[in-house]
Amino acid sequence: MAHDLPPRPASFSLEEVTAAIASVHPAIEVPDSRFVDFTVAGEAQIIADNSCAHEFVLGAAATEAWRDTDLSLHGVHASVRSTRRSFTRDGSGAAVLGSPLVALAWLANELRSLGLGLLRDQVVTTGACMTPLEVEAGDEVTADFGTLGRVSASFRS
């Protein structure tokens, strides 16, 4: 975030939230859960489990040209490669509440309603733009965000 979006009575507009963004980065979110089958854990347990958040890999900042990009239509191509297997998956920003910017505005307004804000220098992940990749030890994952950059991660045992 480039600057704070402190709590206030009025909702934040999409334009205000977008203007508060310092930079956009390609990233890989790495979920995990303490539940063997998180799909049956229930909402309260998933929230207590940090919504299955675990780690993420943050790529280099994209150029300011991202502001002229319709992130809802922007495609992402991911690949998983190892000595045992190889597959790819495609997605787009539309998978994130219709647009990552809409997701960020929702977060800013949800926090506002709780008397909280987004703070300068915070890093916010807006969500996955594709169905999660199934990874195993030995896999190399690359996510290509086109003009926004690439990011990769290796998974070891």
Over range 10-28, report the average pLDDT.
97
What's the pLDDT at 107?
A: 94
Mind listing the domains of the chain with CATH numbers?
14-154 (3.90.850.10)
> 132 vs 103, which has greater pLDDT?
103
Over range 98-123, report the average pLDDT.
96
Tell me the longest C-alpha to C-alpha distance in the chain.
55
* Averaged confidence pLDDT in the chain: 92
108 touches 124 (CB < 8 A) = no
What's the pLDDT at 132?
A: 87
28 touches 57 (CB < 8 A) = yes
Could you tell me the two tokens for 104? 């960020």
Could you tell me the two tokens for 34? 């303490």
What's the pLDDT at 40?
A: 78
What's the pLDDT at 74?
A: 96
What's the pLDDT at 55?
A: 83
Q: 23-32, 101-110, 111-120, 143-152: which has the minimum mean pLDDT?
A: 23-32
- Percent of the chain past pLDDT 90, that is, above it, reads 77
What's the pLDDT at 37?
A: 76
Nearest to 24 by CA among 56, 70, 62: 62
The string of pLDDT tens digits covering residues 46-105 is: 667 666 677 889 999 999 999 999 999 999 999 999 999 999 999 999 999 999 999 999
Number of helices (H), then strands (E), belonging to the chain: the values are 3, 6
What's the pLDDT at 54?
A: 75
60 touches 25 (CB < 8 A) = yes
Nearest to 39 by CA among 29, 28, 49: 49
Length of the chain equals 157
The string of pLDDT tens digits covering residues 35-49 is: 777 677 777 776 676
CA–CA distance, 12 with 34 (Å, rounded to integer): 35
Could you tell me the two tokens for 122? 């915070």
